[in-house]
Amino acid sequence: MSATRAAESGTRSDIPPVEVVGVSVRFGAITALSEVSFTVVPGTIHAIIGPNGAGKSTMFNVLSGVYKAAEGEVRFGDARLDRMRPYQIAGIGVARAFQNIALSGTQSVAENLMLGRHHLTKAGFVAAGLRLPRATREGRRHGERVAEIADFLDLGDKLHTPVGVLSYGDQKRVEVARALCTEPRLLLLDEPVAGMNAEETDRMAAAILEIRSALGISVVLVEHDMGMVMSLADRVTVLDFGRRIADGTPAQVQTDPEVIRAYLGSGDEDSPSEAAAHHHPSDTPGATS
Amino acid sequence: MSESTVIADSGAQRSGVSAPAPAGRGRSILRPLLLVALLVVLLALPLYVEEFWLRTGFAVFGAAVGAIGLNLLVGNAGQLSLAHAFFLAVGAVSYVYVSGEPGGLGVAELDGLGLPPIVGMVVGVLLAGLAGLIFSPLAARLRGIYLGVASLALVFIGIHVLNAWTPVTGGFNGRAAPNFELFGFTFGNRDPELYVLGVPFREAERLWYLGLVLALLAYWYARNLLRSRPGRALQTLRDSEVAASVMGVNVQRYKARIFLVSSMYAGLAGVMYALSIGSIAPESFGLELSILYLAMIVLGGLGSVNGAVLGALFVSALPLVFQRYADLIPFVGDRGEGGLAAGEAARFLFGLAIVLVILFEPAGLAGIANRITGRVRRRPGGRVTEHPPDSSSQSNAPVPSDKPAQGSTT
């Protein structure tokens, strides 16, 4: 059912697939990701799930260039994300919202969002410092777009508020809004609803669907809220201990015996206590769907 | 979410939206009025006050330029530098060498290019900037206290060069700084003789205006910078380098740029320092000067341009004022008499002030000033205008949650 949704929403021709091929990441002797492969179909919402420590955030750090893969390739159209620096990746339209909020607390919402326009604007140390007309014009024009995006995420009335005094839910929305301000072709959302209440979660879920259908961009989502993953995602990749253990539609993944074992523990290899220590109960697939 | 069409519209057609240009934020009438009044006072001051205050004023202007530059680097971009004294020295030495006449006193044979002082000033600023740029690849790789320690080395190198390179620096004894001059107008006591409203405009008066103009330019540039694209990038990289780079900021390049800008500020401050003292000497550019500049920006308020100016005023004027009124202030005596020397007394006061600021007002003097003017200002919806970096909201280091240690391959 969900595979057809992508087709309905009319994908943009300028959005290439993301192809992750055999990516491994090691920290010294520890392997955080081991030969992980998956493909994000353009214009779809692709969820990466897995128990704590499965390598989800590591995968995100590889996608955004913060970590270098020891092996494998990450392609976004013609671009090789695994060979690019983070700011270059941002420059080709890959945006990321952080799980632990990485905003500048002293700056206003508008200023934080304007940072998203960084790669779309030019004003440098001379033009901006001397307040040349082109820098002022550029700032004004992009300010209007930023105000629109803020409105879209219900932040319109908080534009001039310092981010540090906003509620947690608002800050999470600023994170997403800042990523959107880069006009991305691929949006990476790292647990966008973690810590939000039910109402905020519903609003965020609606916003993500809206982003996908209105902009036609690809969204990659790391999320613990299984209800949200199962209802939003077109496709799900499941990681466990740095390996891909399943990949498919939400319905397929939910019934996959490997996935159920990873989340609940089979009792064959792992002792029950160890499984409980590793796997948070709320991670259970299907618990809320 | 009824605005799905809006978000798809990347043409940004909607007009009449209050663009979030920071200039538009809740302005009261009070602030501009205060600023204009302040400017008028500053312009008229040489007509009324005596030479001591004007000379102190010029020293404060010079310190303000240096402090604004250091604050851009430390307060806004988060790069701790103890090398500010070195960059000041580069500016000062370049000025006295480029604009000084060759010649010599006694044993010291001095070289000098004898070029117009404005050339000396520009070269001083550019060479200081160049020195900063050369150091910046190192700066881009180090962080926090490590950068501070590395930058410390520059100060010691600087002192050594100042002492050893006698033909240029005048060596141990230092060297006189030529008077500033612009298109034949000397910032000295004559050439031409000048009277304004019956008040003789001599060196102190003339330098006062020079300092005012330079400080205003420095202030204006810094304010513009911080309110625009590069400023936002710098402040984000201070708060999280990973976030800045993922949002498209070339972190290394920005660190290099801000080092360049900051050392150019220091270079100008160095030139002004030389003009203010009338000479340069190695011991003026020691570690203590770097520390004093750090004291200025911490006292004034890290990251605030206004704060840097207030800090510069406090730190550079206080010892001079103490010295002048030593006999009026209890516990402070003249040199050789009982009591504390004026410089020492001032230093005690800085120490106390810094402790108080850190305990009670981390936003510094700028925070206090904001509070005072903020009381009169109308603030819609309990808006907070000034917000110290708060650890709870900024424990943001986007360190991935699965660190290697957790990778549990067992």
pLDDT digit string, tens, across residues A86-112: 999 999 999 999 988 888 888 889 999
**B246 at A interface, C-beta within 8 A:** yes
Q: Which of A107, A159, A215 is closest, CB to CB, to B235?
A: A107
Is B229–A114 a contact, with Cβ atoms under 8 angstroms apart?
A: yes
Q: Which of A123, A164, A215 is closest, CB to CB, to B7?
A: A215
Domain boundaries, chain B: 49-286
CB-based contact A101:A166 (threshold 8 Å): no
CB-based contact B400:A57 (threshold 8 Å): yes
pLDDT at B395 over 70: no
Is A210–B384 a contact, with Cβ atoms under 8 angstroms apart?
A: no
Task: Give the E-state strand segments of B263-408 in sequence order.
Answer: 279-280
Would you tell me which residues 384-403 of chain B have a C-beta closer than 8 angstroms to some C-beta of chain A? 384, 387-390, 393-403
pLDDT at B31 over 80: no
CB-based contact B206:A81 (threshold 8 Å): no
**B245 at A interface, C-beta within 8 A:** yes
**Contact residues, chain B, for A144 at CB < 8 Å:** 12, 14-15, 17, 19
Which positions ≥6 away from A224 have C-beta within 8 Å?
Answer: A49, A191, A194, A280, A282, A283
Q: CA angle, corner B199, sides to B193 and B204, nearest 5?
A: 70
Is A145–B224 a contact, with Cβ atoms under 8 angstroms apart?
A: no
Is A98–B398 a contact, with Cβ atoms under 8 angstroms apart?
A: yes
Closest chain B residue to A191 measured between Cα atoms? B401
Closest chain A residue to B392 measured between Cα atoms? A164
pLDDT at B340 over 80: no
Q: Which of B228, B243, B394 is closest, CB to CB, to A135?
A: B228
Q: What is the mean pLDDT of chain B?
A: 78
pLDDT in tens, A148-201: 889 888 888 988 999 889 988 889 899 999 999 999 999 999 988 888 888 888
pLDDT at B385 over 50: no
CB-based contact B81:B143 (threshold 8 Å): no
- The backbone region for B387, taken as left when phi is positive above 0, alpha when psi lies in -120 to 50, beta otherwise, is beta
pLDDT at B376 over 50: no
How far, in Å, CA of A245 to CA of A224, rounded? Answer: 17
Would you tell me which residues 358-387 of chain B have a C-beta closer than 8 angstroms to some C-beta of chain A? 383-384, 387
CATH classification number, A99-181, choose in 3.90.79.10, 3.40.50.300, 3.40.50.1970, 3.40.50.720: 3.40.50.300
Residue B249 is predicted with a pLDDT of 92
Would you tell me which residues 140-159 of chain B have a C-beta closer than 8 angstroms to some C-beta of chain A? none
Is A99-181 in the same CATH topology as A1-93+184-192+221-289?
A: yes
Least confident window among A78-92, A214-228, B326-340? B326-340
Q: What is the mean pLDDT of chain A?
A: 83
Closest chain A residue to B259 measured between Cα atoms? A125
Q: Which of B85, B78, B70, B283 lies closest to B171, judged by CA?
A: B283
Q: Which helix (H) or strand (E) holds B118?
A: helix B117-141
pLDDT in tens, A11-23: 577 889 999 999 9
pLDDT in tens, B154-186: 999 999 998 888 888 877 878 888 888 777 677
Q: How far is A199 from chain B (nearest CA, A)?
A: 14
Is B246–A86 a contact, with Cβ atoms under 8 angstroms apart?
A: yes
Fold that domain A1-93+184-192+221-289 belongs to in CATH: Rossmann fold (3.40.50)
Domain boundaries, chain A: 1-93+184-192+221-289, 99-181
pLDDT in tens, A50-87: 888 888 889 999 999 999 999 999 999 899 999 999 99
**B22 at A interface, C-beta within 8 A:** yes
pLDDT in tens, B204-255: 888 888 999 999 999 999 999 998 999 999 999 888 889 999 999 999 899 9
| Alpha-carbon distance values, B22 to A244, B301, B327 (Å) | 47, 20, 48
Is A103–B21 a contact, with Cβ atoms under 8 angstroms apart?
A: no
**B23 at A interface, C-beta within 8 A:** no
How far, in Å, CA of A53 to CA of A277, rounded? Answer: 11
pLDDT at B83 over 60: yes
Is B261–A125 a contact, with Cβ atoms under 8 angstroms apart?
A: yes
**B244 at A interface, C-beta within 8 A:** yes
The arithmetic mean of pLDDT across residues B295-312, rounded, is: 90
Best of B219, B247, B396 to substitute, by most chain A Cβ atoms within 10 angstroms, is B247
Phi, psi at A82, each rounded to 5°: -70, -10
The larger pLDDT score, comparing residue A84 to residue B385, is at A84
Q: How far is A252 from chain B (nearest CA, A)?
A: 27
Q: How far is A137 from chain B (nearest CA, A)?
A: 11
Residue A38, CA atoms < 13 Å, CB-side half-sphere: 26
Best of B6, B232, B385 to substitute, by most chain A Cβ atoms within 10 angstroms, is B232
Q: Which of A57, A106, A215 is closest, CB to CB, to B400?
A: A57
Q: Which of A99, A129, A206 is closest, CB to CB, to B401?
A: A99
